[in-house]
Amino acid sequence: MTSQTAGATAEAVASAVASERTAMVASLIRLTGDWDLAEDCVQDAAERALVRWPRDGMPRSPAAWLTTVARNRALDVLRRRRSERAKLQERAILDAKGAGEVHRRQSGADDRLRLVFTCCHPALALEGQVALTLKVVAGLSTAEIARAFLVSEATMSQRLLRTKRKISNAGIPYRVPPDDLLAPRTSGVLAVLYLIFNAGYGQPDGALAVEALRLARLVVELMPREDEAHGLLALITLQLSRRSTRFDDHGDLVPMEEQDRSRWDATLIESGQTQLRRAALSGLPAGAYQLQARIAAFHATAPRAEETPWEAIVGGLYDALLLALPSPVVGLNRAVAVGFRDGYESGLAALAALDAAGLAGYYLLPAARADFLRRLGRNDEARRAYQAALHLSRAGEPEWRLLQRRLTEL
């Protein structure tokens, strides 16, 4: 091993390890089909690097060093198992070494893409797809994922185990789907990332939202020609630009019109807009993520809440979004935007025209009504609507506290 610099800093080592980890796990899974073995051996190689590199200096190619150490570790483990299957797995690793297949950029990208698509296979339970993506692709610990989803570590550990077992027992192939499956499977991957984002965005610490940003960047890097991947990255980036102003010091939600726009992250807004331009390059009709990102971009760039271009948002984007993604929630958001464009009375009428059955039990419908009624000074009706909304939201959560505050202020 050659040393470029003696005594690499701990951060440099950690960051080199982090950037190679996913590709290494992905290639060991391809060679052995054993997810636990791949994760353990890569973890082991990473721990050795964290001890060795600060002392001896970074190797010339950190990726090659880590790959060699992880594979040798896997060979050790497999030799001890002495089963027929282990012999085949051992052979696969030795063949890969013999063929000089080190960790090239291209094979690394292919392996990571295989990994992402397999974690998000539709035959896996959605919560399992989310957990496995966070564990194996993002590299979070089981404890971190458990905390983010408010379950015990034992529960999350079981969920991960069940998901990995299903992949192997049900014969889910470890591959990038062929062309005829690529479009629906890609939407599945993007849906998982957006779910991770939303799980984090609703919380003041928002760690998962940042993880979703990293994952979306990875997916864009791996599938640069997927417009909707760029669209999702733009959407996540633009929404994250408001992150530091969405909650106050007490962890209470601050509505967008009351947020301090000077504290919105200008770098993220710029980067989101760049992604949006990239998404539109193909000239194909914009998909649901792109349309939502364009709406987010109008909000992010309005100098003041009163200068939000509601006509462009409703007529240009929500109408198209409703066609691309005909969901009751999109309809609700459109109705709210109509209220800001045409006046609160029209907003109430638009809310009343919605398919209430599709929104039954959803607190945002009475909350939106309450908001328009409050702005119109119809306090008694507003109070009843706030109470209905409170009834449907989880007590103590940020949304619930905001509704409670509005009700008290009436």
Residues that bind another protein (CB under 8 A): 85, 121, 123, 169-173, 177, 181
**How far apart are alpha carbons 126 and 19 in whole angstroms?**
26
Q: What is the closest distance, in whole angstroms, from the C-beta atom of residue 90 to another protein in the complex?
A: 16
- For another protein, which is the closer residue by CB, 180 or 249? 180
Q: What is the closest distance, in whole angstroms, from the C-beta atom of residue 166 to another protein in the complex?
A: 9
- For 45, other C-beta atoms within 10 Å of its C-beta total 25
- For another protein, which is the closer residue by CB, 42 or 167? 167
**How far apart are alpha carbons 337 and 331 in whole angstroms?**
10
DSSP state, 178?
Answer: P
- For another protein, which is the closer residue by CB, 171 or 283? 171
Q: What is the closest distance, in whole angstroms, from the C-beta atom of residue 81 to another protein in the complex?
A: 13
- For another protein, which is the closer residue by CB, 147 or 166? 166
DSSP state, 247?
Answer: B
Q: Which residues pair with 253 in a beta bridge?
A: 247
Q: What is the closest distance, in whole angstroms, from the C-beta atom of residue 70 to another protein in the complex?
A: 24
**How far apart are alpha carbons 178 and 184 in whole angstroms?**
11
**How far apart are alpha carbons 354 and 345 in whole angstroms?**
15
What is the helix (H) or strand (E) element at residue 84, kind and residue range?
helix 84-98
Structure tokens at 203: 């919380």
**How far apart are alpha carbons 339 and 342 in whole angstroms?**
5
How far from chain centre, in Å, is Cα 286? 20
Q: What is the closest distance, in whole angstroms, from the C-beta atom of residue 203 to another protein in the complex?
A: 35
- For another protein, which is the closer residue by CB, 109 or 181? 181
- For another protein, which is the closer residue by CB, 172 or 207? 172
- For another protein, which is the closer residue by CB, 121 or 369? 121
Q: What is the closest distance, in whole angstroms, from the C-beta atom of residue 114 to another protein in the complex?
A: 13
Placement of tokens 């909707």 in the chain: 228
- For another protein, which is the closer residue by CB, 121 or 135? 121
Amino acid in the structure at residue 129: Q
Q: Report yes or no: 402 and 249 within 8 Å, Cβ to Cβ.
A: no
- For another protein, which is the closer residue by CB, 125 or 281? 125
Q: What is the closest distance, in whole angstroms, from the C-beta atom of residue 191 to another protein in the complex?
A: 18
Q: What is the closest distance, in whole angstroms, from the C-beta atom of residue 169 to another protein in the complex?
A: 6
Q: What is the closest distance, in whole angstroms, from the C-beta atom of residue 170 to another protein in the complex?
A: 5
Q: What is the closest distance, in whole angstroms, from the C-beta atom of residue 25 to another protein in the complex?
A: 21
**How far apart are alpha carbons 108 and 22 in whole angstroms?**
9
From the list 284, 287, 295, 390, the residue with the least C-alpha distance to 336 is 295
Structure tokens at 307: 């200068």
Q: What is the closest distance, in whole angstroms, from the C-beta atom of residue 136 to another protein in the complex?
A: 19
Q: Report yes or no: 66 and 79 within 8 Å, Cβ to Cβ.
A: no
Structure tokens at 394: 């989880």
- For another protein, which is the closer residue by CB, 177 or 366? 177
**How far apart are alpha carbons 235 and 293 in whole angstroms?**
4
Q: Which residues pair with 394 in a beta bridge?
A: none
- For 6, other C-beta atoms within 10 Å of its C-beta total 10
**How far apart are alpha carbons 163 and 264 in whole angstroms?**
39
Q: Which residues pair with 46 in a beta bridge?
A: none
- For another protein, which is the closer residue by CB, 192 or 233? 192
